[in-house]
Structure 1
Amino acid sequence: MKEKTQGNLRIGTEAEPKPALGLTDAIAVIVGIVIGAGIFRTPSLVAANSGSVGIFLLTWVLGGVVSLIGALSYAELTTTFPNTGGDYYFLRRAYGKRLAFLFAWARMSVIQTGSIALLSFIIGDYLTQIYTLGEFSPVIYASLVVIVLTGINIVGVKVGTGTQKVLTTVEVLGILIITGAGFFFAPEQAGASSIASDTSGQTNSLGLAMVFVLLTFGGWNEAAYISGELRSGRKGMAIALVAGIILITIIYLLINLAYLNVLGLSGMAQSDAVAGDLMRITFGEGGVLLIGVLVAVSALTSANATIFTGARTNYALGRDFPLFGILGKWNEQTSSPVNAFIVQGFISLALISLGLLTRNGFATMIEYTAPVFWFFFLLVGVALFILRRKEPDRERPFRVPLYPVTPLIFCLSSAYLLYSSLVYTGLGALVGVGVLAVGVILLLVLPAIDRKIAARSDKAKEAVPKSL
């Protein structure tokens, strides 16, 4: 609890985040965000762009390596500058208040809320296959996901992280079931020999394959938003990041080996739902139902973690900019930014409505979020270099190894994915960039708005009786 003062006058108290998360909480958030529905969709695209099994597996190993390099860079930033604002705070220290505002605006209106809507659409699509609610069933399910998970996180940090650990556990157990099915229940005709069979139809585009792989690995950086709430201290965040990425890479390799064992590389490349095809071959139609539930749970896990971390940036935005001051209120009883959760939920519901209009919610949200996300991801990587120069005497409990090579690789990979997200996407990307442009306009008028709000605040203070 931080006490506000005006001169010698105490005018109230303001709640602030407290260390309430354990190391397992942080790892659960990282694993829960990254291992989402992507691992059930992208392997077929990776296989279609891999000329051999060796290249296919290499892309997943490289995805883990690149993610680990990025995590090491983030580990330095999060341990040196632990703050609930995460990327927002790093950008603010490196580039100043204006660029930080633009990022917070993008995260609130494009990146985080778009991701929440995307994941909710995945859940809606799969639940509709199990039980339809009518013509707009996916949208109804998606909207319910946002409302229910937002409500759970508003109740409090312990409920939110507890839900996250349960969902992550179910998700990992489900993936282990698929992996076990692929290794131990595959028919003889789909045995190990299929791994090396018929790869003549595949192309050999390592770069394009890596785009899909790195998208599947995306999301580990969200741990930065809980760095100020971790009980195990600064080094604990570095451990959580590295351990999370290693665990995710192992899981991805195992499940892809299971896919190969049942379908072979060619079969994967021709499949629109590799996990569904694997379960159909091993367990029949009942397996298809099981995978539908699993994909929904996986997306639900990521959605809950994304909602949990997203509100933290909105809270930081409200703390720094009077125009959005309503977002900067921290509820001490629930240990959560309640207003930030509510606003984030409404924006996510609006984006779900946008998906309804385009009739292809999942694809629209990918296009909408990708370019803006990778643009700021690149800027965070560059921020590490800037902060090393601006604050050389700052205590750094963890220093990224092999500096400057390691963060440079991180920046180059982010730049490549920014390029790819602009080249391979369509109208949705233009809408996302357009929303970012609205933030630029707000940035231009922000000083004048802040001055007016500050003037009103000064008048209100002057109106307080001196006898108080």
Structure 2
Amino acid sequence: MVADGYEVTPSGGARDKTSTSSHSSGADEEAVNLKPKISLLNGVTIIVGSIIGSGIFVSPKGVLENAGSVGVSLIIWVMCGLFSMIGAYCYAELGTSILKSGADYAYIYEAYGPFLAFLRLWVECMIVRPCSQAIVALTFSYYVVEPLFPDCEQPDVAVRLLAAVCILILTFVNCYDVKWATRVQDIFTYAKLLALALIIITGIVQLCRGETEYFENPFEYTETNIAKATLGFYSGLFAYNGWNYLNYVIEELQDPVKNCPKAIWISISLVTLVYTFANVAYFTTVSREEVLSGAAVAVMFSKRLYSFMWVIMPIFVSLSTFGGVNGILFTSSRLFFVGAREGHMPQILSMVQVNRLTPLPACLFMGLLSLVYLTSSNMYALINYVSFVNWLAIGLSVTVLLYFRYTRPEMPRPVKISLVWPIIYVVMSLVLVLLPMFSSPTETGFGCLIIATGIPVYIIFVYWENKPKTILRALDKMTLGLQKLLMSVPEERKDECADWKLFIYLFLMY
């Protein structure tokens, strides 16, 4: 118990409230924690940059193949944007009510406890995120190298080495400064939007010239099998994946109550328009059969219309994927950070570098794990095995909104949406989870096995608290050694009466 007029400090002591008030702003500035450096514009570029990757440039084949016709495929692109908007607004309520980074991990933990949250964290951190980052980095290097080898296959070693360089550079940027990382995200998001704007404007010119051959019978070849047509919707939603990434870093967002909903509205609306009009532009020049062939549609489009300047399209695709790698690394490192803060990851990952105020250990771990996956040839298979987990986790997160409306009716909700939207989203998510179980039972089975591997890890490293002292001492020594090496400390406020930097320096060095 602390006497009136005093408050508990992060170290467990007490200090005079009156003296605190006069120095609070200074203390907040010099606290050893992650700062809210992400502006509204940064939030928009994080979402847009995370959603738009190489897919829209390479081939919209998945949607068209299952939709059957050009007209239905365009309808699906619009519907997927609207569905993503519903999910994003559900997350806006969750993110402004539960102001914790980590998105669905944090929400599942808050409502359903540590076990389910850990399983989500395990699959996401150990497989989905590093695999995705390695794949996007490989796509980046592939398109950088393509103009050098236009008529032959790119050398595998060169592609993998360049992908490794991409990951290492962006890992350094994210370790060094949050502002550097957000600036990289801003610049490369503008680059990919510029590329898509070029495609859309060219498509408008083509339409004005009367190039409407592939729109004359827009609903010809429409798929009558409802189950297969639904798979087109699934493919479209996969292209919108990333709309929830801002929630992973919401603790670093300036004025999240105001900026989170705004960033969501601007981003999803922009991406929906861009995706739809880019596909319209493609069909002014590229036939349905050519899209279904799996060719790189944007490159084919540019080769036919831009003459020798077609090489700008691979460059734009590489810029797009470079920004995508940065977005994955930036948000994933925060997921590691939050998981470690809750005791679900090694303690060192929850620490902040004292000079740069970045989650340096978590960024390094994410980067190194991605490099490990670059040596594997089965990354795509792993992603396919756990793809349904994404919808399972997001759907479960949205049920948290419904659960807390019932169990915590007085909970502060700066953003409060109508209950009809989370109900619609949960029902649709249930369809998206059940669909792969019937259409791809083998892949779904392997995905469930991968999730199950987290159970023994949880029992040994989280649930088993009374470990032998020898093991605990070894873990403490390892953590302290890494702290000294990385100059990192737990996230907390500093003692206002001490020269904290000198104290930390002496502690780590001696």
Q: Does the TM-score normalized on the shorter chain lie above 0.5? A: yes
What letter is aligned with 1:263?
V
Contact 1:102–1:439, Cα closer than 8 Å, also in 2: yes
Query: What CA RMSD, in Å, does the superposition of the two structures yield over aligned residues?
Result: 2.8
Q: 1:439 matched to which residue of 2? A: 454
What per-residue deviation string (whole Å, max 9, x for no partner) do you get for residues 329-375 of structure 1? 023532321101111112111222223xx4xx5x3353144133222
Q: In 1, Cα distance between the equivalents of 2:259 and 2:401?
A: 19
Q: 2:301 matched to which residue of 1? A: 278
3-state SS of paired residue (1:46): helix
What per-residue deviation string (whole Å, max 9, x for no partner) do you get for residues 263-308 of structure 1? 2444433452221221122123541x22211221111111111110
* Among candidates 422, 427, 433, match of residue 412 of structure 1: 427
Going from structure 1 to structure 2, the CA distance change for 1:396 and 1:135 (only over 3 Å counts) comes to: closer
Q: Does 1:259 align with 2:265?
A: no
Q: In 2, Cα distance between the equivalents of 1:453 and 1:228?
A: 36
Going from structure 1 to structure 2, the CA distance change for 1:253 and 1:278 (only over 3 Å counts) comes to: same
What letter is aligned with 2:182?
T
> How far 1:427 sits from its partner (Å)?
7.5
Task: Decide which moves more: 170-179 or 53-62.
Answer: 53-62
> How far 1:430 sits from its partner (Å)?
5.9
> How far 1:178 sits from its partner (Å)?
1.5
Spell out the pairing of 1:305-344 with structure 2 (5 A cutoff): 305-321=327-343, 324-344=346-366
Q: In 2, Cα distance between the equivalents of 1:183 and 1:239?
A: 29
Q: Does 1:230 align with 2:253?
A: yes
What letter is aligned with 2:427?
L
> How far 1:201 sits from its partner (Å)?
4.9
Q: In 2, Cα distance between the equivalents of 1:352 and 1:424?
A: 29
> How far 1:76 sits from its partner (Å)?
0.5
Q: In 2, Cα distance between the equivalents of 1:428 and 1:144?
A: 32
Q: Does 1:121 align with 2:143?
A: no
Task: Decide which moves more: 444-453 or 206-215.
Answer: 444-453
3-state SS of paired residue (2:453): helix
Q: 2:178 matched to which residue of 1? A: 157
Contact 2:58–2:299, Cα closer than 8 Å, also in 1: no
Contact 1:186–1:281, Cα closer than 8 Å, also in 2: no
Q: Does 1:194 align with 2:211?
A: no
Q: 1:46 matched to which residue of 2? A: 63
Going from structure 1 to structure 2, the CA distance change for 1:230 and 1:14 (only over 3 Å counts) comes to: closer
Q: Does 1:5 align with 2:11?
A: yes
Spell out the pairing of 1:139-150 with structure 2 (5 A cutoff): 139-150=160-171
Task: Decide which moves more: 13-22 or 333-342.
Answer: 13-22
What letter is aligned with 1:5?
S
Going from structure 1 to structure 2, the CA distance change for 1:422 and 1:120 (only over 3 Å counts) comes to: farther
What per-residue deviation string (whole Å, max 9, x for no partner) do you get for residues 123-176 of structure 1? 132223234673422322222221111111111100000110000011100111
> How far 1:202 sits from its partner (Å)?
5.5
Going from structure 1 to structure 2, the CA distance change for 1:441 and 1:117 (only over 3 Å counts) comes to: same
Q: Name the % identity.
A: 25
* Among candidates 94, 97, 100, match of residue 83 of structure 1: 100
Contact 2:391–2:432, Cα closer than 8 Å, also in 1: yes
What letter is aligned with 2:203?
G
Going from structure 1 to structure 2, the CA distance change for 1:324 and 1:449 (only over 3 Å counts) comes to: farther
What letter is aligned with 2:211?
G
Going from structure 1 to structure 2, the CA distance change for 1:292 and 1:333 (only over 3 Å counts) comes to: same
Q: In 2, Cα distance between the equivalents of 1:85 and 1:386?
A: 19
Going from structure 1 to structure 2, the CA distance change for 1:282 and 1:22 (only over 3 Å counts) comes to: same
Q: In 1, Cα distance between the equivalents of 2:114 and 2:195?
A: 44
> How far 1:70 sits from its partner (Å)?
0.3
Contact 2:71–2:219, Cα closer than 8 Å, also in 1: no
What letter is aligned with 2:168?
I
TM score, norm. by length of structure 1: 0.87
Task: Decide which moves more: 136-145 or 32-41.
Answer: 136-145
Q: In 2, Cα distance between the equivalents of 1:414 and 1:80?
A: 22
3-state SS of paired residue (1:450): coil
Structure 2 unaligned blocks of 5 or more: 1-7, 16-29, 477-510
3-state SS of paired residue (1:18): coil
Contact 2:88–2:264, Cα closer than 8 Å, also in 1: yes
* Among candidates 57, 63, 71, match of residue 74 of structure 2: 57
Contact 1:119–1:299, Cα closer than 8 Å, also in 2: yes
Q: 1:36 matched to which residue of 2? A: 53
Q: Does 1:291 align with 2:291?
A: no
3-state SS of paired residue (1:261): coil
What per-residue deviation string (whole Å, max 9, x for no partner) do you get for residues 160-209 of structure 1? 00110000011100111122222325796x80233225865563443121
User: In terms of Rg, which structure is larger?
Assistant: 2
Q: In 2, Cα distance between the equivalents of 1:419 and 1:374?
A: 10
Q: 2:263 matched to which residue of 1? A: 240
3-state SS of paired residue (1:16): coil
Q: In 1, Cα distance between the equivalents of 2:462 and 2:192?
A: 46
Q: 2:392 matched to which residue of 1? A: 375
